[in-house]
Amino acid sequence: MLIRIGSRGSALALWQAEHVRQRLAALGHEATIRVIITTGDRIQDRRLDVVGGKGAFLKEIEEAMLAEEVDLAVHSLKDVPTALPAGLRLCAVLERADPRDALLSRAGLGLKKLPAGARVGTASLRRRAQVGALRPDLVLQDLRGNVDTRIRKLGEGECDALLLAVAGLERLGRRGEATEVLEPDVFLPAPGQGAIALECRQGDESVASAAGPLRHAPTERAVAAERALLAGLHGGCNVPLGAYAQEEREGGAVRLTAFVARPDGSGLLRGQARDADPLRAGAALAEQLLARGAGELMRG
C-alpha cells in the first residue's frame, strides 16, 4: 500500500512530513509526500485570526484528504483546531519535542534585559499577551512568515527580537540561534506545541493501523488535557491563552497549567489542575478559569 502524505511546503512542514515518511518506511510502509499550498501560506500580509485562524494552515490539506487525493496529513498539533471536519480524525500524536518558546534577539539580550521600547515581533496573541504582562514597556509588532522568513526579518532590522517555538528551531538545525529559552513556569506554550499530529479519514483503518506504532501515549495524554482546556474555553488563535501539561512520573496523573488574558496581557489569569483523566483535568481547569472571569477577558 502506498500512503500519500499531504503537507504544507514550508521547510519545517516538509521536515515533519519527511520525518513521518521515514518512520513509516522503517515499519515497511511506502509513502510519498504531496505539497499543498494552504490559505495560511498564501496570505502573509494579514493577521492569522483574520484569515481563518490556525485552521487556515489545514483547510486545503483536509479537503484533499476528503477528496481521497492524499491519505495522511502531517500537522503541527498546535495548528489543529479541537473540532475536526466530519469524516476526519487524528490517528496518532508523535512523541513531543521541546514545547518551550525561545527569544531571538539581535543584541543577544534576554527578555528581562531588552531595553524599554525594543520591538518584539510575533503574530501570536498568546505570545503578545505574555510579553505584555511581563514587559509592558516593550513594543509588540506583527511578524508573520515561516521560521526562516522571520529570522531573516530579524536580521534585517524589522524588529529587535522575536519569539519562536524551540521545536521548530531544533528541527531546522537553528536551535543555536536562540538567545534565551523561556520556561513554562514563566511563559506558557500553545496547547500541543512541539507535538506532531497525524490526521486520516474516518474508516481508513489501513492508514490508521500503519500510523499506530508512531503514537506516544504520554504525549497523547498530555496534549489531550491541553486540548480539552482549549475546547472548554472555546479558544482558538483569536484568544490569548497558553497551556502545558505533563504526565507525572509517579502515579500517572496529568498536571495541567494554563493562562488566559486580554490581548495586551492585562488581567492575566493563571491556574492549574491535576487529574488521572486528562480530559477531566482540562475541563476542570477551563471551568475554574471561567469562574474567575476568563470569559470576560476573552471577549476583550
Concatenating the DSSP letter of every residue in 105-139 gives ETT---GGGSPTT-EEE---HHHHHHHHHH-TTSE
Q: How many domains does the chain have?
A: 3
pLDDT, position 300 = 66
Residue 256 lies in a domain: yes
Residue 289, domain extent: 223-298
Query: Residue 16 has which C-alpha cell?
Result: 515533519
Residue 190 lies in a domain: no
Residue 138 lies in a domain: yes
Rounded to an integer, what distance in angstroms lies between the CA atom of residue 195 and that of residue 78? Answer: 8
What percent of the residues of the chain are helix, what percent strand, and what percent coil, each to the nearest 5? 35, 25, 40
Residue 227 lies in a domain: yes
Say yes or no: 283 and 262 in one domain. Answer: yes
CATH of the domain at 115: 3.40.190.10
Contact 71, 65 (CB under 8 A): yes
Say yes or no: 58 and 200 in one domain. Answer: yes
pLDDT, position 298 = 82
Say yes or no: 49 and 122 in one domain. Answer: no
Contact 182, 162 (CB under 8 A): no
> pTM for this one?
0.92
Contact 231, 98 (CB under 8 A): no
Rounded to an integer, what distance in angstroms lies between the CA atom of residue 1 and that of residue 71? Answer: 11
By C-alpha distance, which of 183, 142, 147 is closest to 164? 147
Rounded to an integer, what distance in angstroms lies between the CA atom of residue 259 and that of residue 243? Answer: 7
Residue type, 193: Q
234 φψ region: left (φ > 0), alpha (ψ -120 to 50), beta (else): left
Say yes or no: 208 and 79 in one domain. Answer: yes
Question: What CA–CA distances, in Å, run from 53 to 56, 147, 267?
Answer: 6, 18, 23
Query: 4 by DSSP, 3-state: which?
Result: strand
By C-alpha distance, which of 181, 191, 23 is closest to 92? 23
Catalytic residue flag (residue 185): no
Query: 102 by DSSP, 3-state: which?
Result: strand
Rounded to an integer, what distance in angstroms lies between the CA atom of residue 155 and that of residue 104? Answer: 10
Q: Which of 41, 79, 101, 204 is catalytic?
A: 79
Contact 220, 192 (CB under 8 A): no
pLDDT, position 237 = 61
Residue 141 lies in a domain: yes
List the pLDDT tens digit at each of the 300 positions of the chain.
899 999 999 999 999 999 999 999 999 999 999 999 877 665 555 555 544 455 677 989 999 999 999 999 999 999 999 999 999 999 999 999 999 999 999 999 999 999 999 999 998 999 999 999 999 999 999 988 889 999 999 999 999 999 999 999 999 999 999 999 999 999 999 999 999 999 999 999 999 999 999 999 999 999 999 999 999 998 766 789 999 999 998 888 999 999 999 989 999 999 999 999 999 999 999 999 999 999 888 876
CB-based contacts of 122: which residues, under 8 Å, 6+ apart?
128, 131, 140, 142, 143, 162, 163
Say yes or no: 82 and 105 in one domain. Answer: no
Say yes or no: 151 and 108 in one domain. Answer: yes
Say yes or no: 236 and 260 in one domain. Answer: yes
Say yes or no: 143 and 87 in one domain. Answer: no
pLDDT, position 50 = 47
Residue 248 lies in a domain: yes
> Which residues are 76's β-sheet partners?
196
CATH of the domain at 276: 3.30.160.40
Contact 36, 66 (CB under 8 A): no
Query: Residue 160 has which C-alpha cell?
Result: 529587535
Say yes or no: 23 and 57 in one domain. Answer: yes
Say yes or no: 201 and 89 in one domain. Answer: yes
Residue 168 lies in a domain: yes
> Which residues are 60's β-sheet partners?
none
Say yes or no: 175 and 44 in one domain. Answer: no
Residue 67 lies in a domain: yes
CB-based contacts of 13: which residues, under 8 Å, 6+ apart?
7, 74, 76
Say yes or no: 54 and 203 in one domain. Answer: yes
Rounded to an integer, what distance in angstroms lies between the CA atom of residue 73 and that of residue 198? Answer: 6
